[in-house]
A = this chain, B = another copy of it.
Protein backbone atom coordinates (compact mmCIF):
# COMPACT_ATOMS: atom_id res chain seq x y z
CA UNK A 1 0.00 0.00 0.00
CA UNK A 2 1.13 3.54 -0.70
CA UNK A 3 1.19 6.04 2.18
CA UNK A 4 -2.03 7.73 1.08
CA UNK A 5 -3.72 4.30 0.93
CA UNK A 6 -2.60 3.63 4.50
CA UNK A 7 -3.89 7.06 5.55
CA UNK A 8 -7.22 6.32 3.82
CA UNK A 9 -7.43 3.00 5.68
CA UNK A 10 -6.87 4.86 8.98
CA UNK A 11 -9.52 7.42 8.00
CA UNK A 12 -12.07 4.65 7.27
CA UNK A 13 -11.26 3.00 10.60
CA UNK A 14 -11.78 6.38 12.32
CA UNK A 15 -15.21 6.74 10.69
CA UNK A 16 -16.13 3.26 11.92
CA UNK A 17 -15.31 4.46 15.47
CA UNK A 18 -17.56 7.51 15.05
CA UNK A 19 -14.63 9.88 14.55
CA UNK A 20 -14.27 12.47 11.80
CA UNK A 21 -12.55 10.35 9.13
CA UNK A 22 -9.01 11.66 8.90
CA UNK A 23 -6.02 9.33 8.79
CA UNK A 24 -2.29 9.92 8.78
CA UNK A 25 0.96 8.01 8.39
CA UNK A 26 4.65 8.86 8.81
CA UNK A 27 7.04 7.05 6.48
CA UNK A 28 10.81 7.01 6.07
CA UNK A 29 12.61 7.41 2.73
CA UNK A 30 12.34 3.65 2.08
CA UNK A 31 8.58 3.84 2.60
CA UNK A 32 8.65 2.04 5.95
CA UNK A 33 5.80 3.02 8.27
CA UNK A 34 7.06 4.65 11.50
CA UNK A 35 3.67 5.75 12.81
CA UNK A 36 0.06 5.63 11.65
CA UNK A 37 -3.16 6.81 13.23
CA UNK A 38 -6.70 7.94 12.73
CA UNK A 39 -8.46 10.75 14.49
CA UNK A 40 -9.24 9.88 18.17
CA UNK A 41 -10.66 13.20 19.37
CA UNK A 42 -13.98 11.73 20.55
CA UNK A 43 -12.53 8.58 22.09
CA UNK A 44 -9.90 10.47 24.08
CA UNK A 45 -12.03 13.58 24.73
CA UNK A 46 -8.97 15.43 23.50
CA UNK A 47 -9.18 17.97 20.66
CA UNK A 48 -5.43 17.65 20.17
CA UNK A 49 -5.76 13.93 19.29
CA UNK A 50 -5.74 14.60 15.56
CA UNK A 51 -4.45 11.82 13.31
CA UNK A 52 -1.31 13.79 12.41
CA UNK A 53 -0.27 14.47 16.03
CA UNK A 54 -0.79 10.82 17.00
CA UNK A 55 1.12 9.51 13.96
CA UNK A 56 3.99 11.98 14.47
CA UNK A 57 4.28 11.07 18.16
CA UNK A 58 4.25 7.37 17.33
CA UNK A 59 6.98 7.88 14.71
CA UNK A 60 9.14 9.89 17.11
CA UNK A 61 8.71 7.18 19.75
CA UNK A 62 9.67 4.50 17.21
CA UNK A 63 12.76 6.50 16.24
CA UNK A 64 13.50 7.52 19.86
CA UNK A 65 13.95 11.03 18.48
CA UNK A 66 11.80 14.17 18.45
CA UNK A 67 13.05 14.98 14.95
CA UNK A 68 12.05 13.22 11.77
CA UNK A 69 14.03 15.14 9.15
CA UNK A 70 13.98 12.45 6.45
CA UNK A 71 10.31 11.57 6.90
CA UNK A 72 7.06 12.27 5.10
CA UNK A 73 3.75 12.91 6.86
CA UNK A 74 0.87 11.80 4.63
CA UNK A 75 -2.65 12.72 5.71
CA UNK A 76 -6.07 12.54 4.08
CA UNK A 77 -6.98 16.17 4.91
CA UNK A 78 -5.02 19.42 4.80
CA UNK A 79 -3.55 19.79 8.30
CA UNK A 80 -5.01 22.41 10.65
CA UNK A 81 -2.67 25.10 12.05
CA UNK A 82 -1.97 23.01 15.18
CA UNK A 83 -0.90 19.95 13.18
CA UNK A 84 1.01 21.99 10.60
CA UNK A 85 3.03 23.63 13.39
CA UNK A 86 3.59 20.22 14.99
CA UNK A 87 4.89 18.85 11.65
CA UNK A 88 7.29 21.78 11.54
CA UNK A 89 8.45 21.11 15.12
CA UNK A 90 9.05 17.42 14.27
CA UNK A 91 11.10 18.69 11.29
CA UNK A 92 9.42 16.42 8.74
CA UNK A 93 10.79 16.76 5.23
CA UNK A 94 7.49 16.61 3.42
CA UNK A 95 3.76 16.92 4.07
CA UNK A 96 1.46 15.19 1.59
CA UNK A 97 -2.28 15.62 1.96
CA UNK A 98 -5.47 14.59 0.18
CA UNK A 99 -8.44 16.93 0.48
CA UNK A 100 -8.05 20.67 0.79
CA UNK A 101 -9.73 22.27 3.83
CA UNK A 102 -10.67 25.90 3.11
CA UNK A 103 -12.49 26.22 6.45
CA UNK A 104 -10.04 24.67 8.89
CA UNK A 105 -6.80 24.11 6.99
CA UNK A 106 -3.61 25.86 8.03
CA UNK A 107 -1.27 25.00 5.16
CA UNK A 108 -2.86 26.37 1.98
CA UNK A 109 -5.55 28.30 3.87
CA UNK A 110 -6.06 30.44 6.96
CA UNK A 111 -2.92 30.84 9.06
CA UNK A 112 -0.71 29.32 6.29
CA UNK A 113 1.69 28.16 8.99
CA UNK A 114 4.66 27.23 6.80
CA UNK A 115 4.66 30.72 5.27
CA UNK A 116 4.56 32.58 8.62
CA UNK A 117 7.68 34.46 9.73
CA UNK A 118 7.63 32.45 12.97
CA UNK A 119 7.94 29.12 11.11
CA UNK A 120 11.55 27.99 11.36
CA UNK A 121 11.19 24.78 9.34
CA UNK A 122 8.86 24.61 6.36
CA UNK A 123 8.37 21.12 4.92
CA UNK A 124 7.77 20.58 1.21
CA UNK A 125 4.02 20.39 0.59
CA UNK A 126 2.07 18.28 -1.90
CA UNK A 127 -1.71 18.70 -1.75
CA UNK A 128 -4.61 17.09 -3.59
CA UNK A 129 -3.36 13.48 -3.62
CA UNK A 130 -6.36 11.11 -4.07
CA UNK A 131 -8.35 14.25 -3.30
CA UNK A 132 -11.79 12.98 -4.39
CA UNK A 133 -11.52 9.81 -2.31
CA UNK A 134 -10.26 11.66 0.79
CA UNK A 135 -12.92 14.38 0.52
CA UNK A 136 -15.61 11.78 -0.22
CA UNK A 137 -14.99 10.01 3.09
CA UNK A 138 -15.56 13.28 4.96
CA UNK A 139 -18.62 14.21 2.87
CA UNK A 140 -20.24 10.81 3.44
CA UNK A 141 -19.50 10.97 7.17
CA UNK A 142 -21.10 14.37 7.65
CA UNK A 143 -24.04 13.50 5.36
CA UNK A 144 -24.84 10.53 7.61
CA UNK A 145 -24.83 12.79 10.70
CA UNK A 146 -27.52 15.06 9.24
Secondary structure type dominating chain A contacts? loop
Q: Within 8 Å of chain B (Cβ to Cβ): is A45?
A: yes
Assembly CA distance A47 to B56 (angstroms): 10
CB distance from A6 to the nearest CB of B (A): 22
CB distance from A125 to the nearest CB of B (A): 15
Within 8 A of B (CB), among A103-123: 103-106, 109-113, 116-120
Is the beta-carbon distance between A106 and B85 smaller than 8 angstroms? yes
Q: How many copies does the complex hold?
A: 2
Assembly CA distance A56 to B65 (angstroms): 24
Identify A60's interface contact among B45, B81, B86, CB under 8 A.
B45
Identify A111's interface contact among B64, B104, B111, CB under 8 A.
B111
With A48-B57, A109-B117, A110-B117 given, name 6 new contacts (CB 8 A): A45-B64, A45-B66, A48-B56, A48-B86, A103-B118, A104-B118
Binding site for B on A (CB under 8 A): 41, 45-48, 53, 56-57, 60-61, 64-67, 80-82, 84-86, 89-90, 103-106, 109-113, 116-120
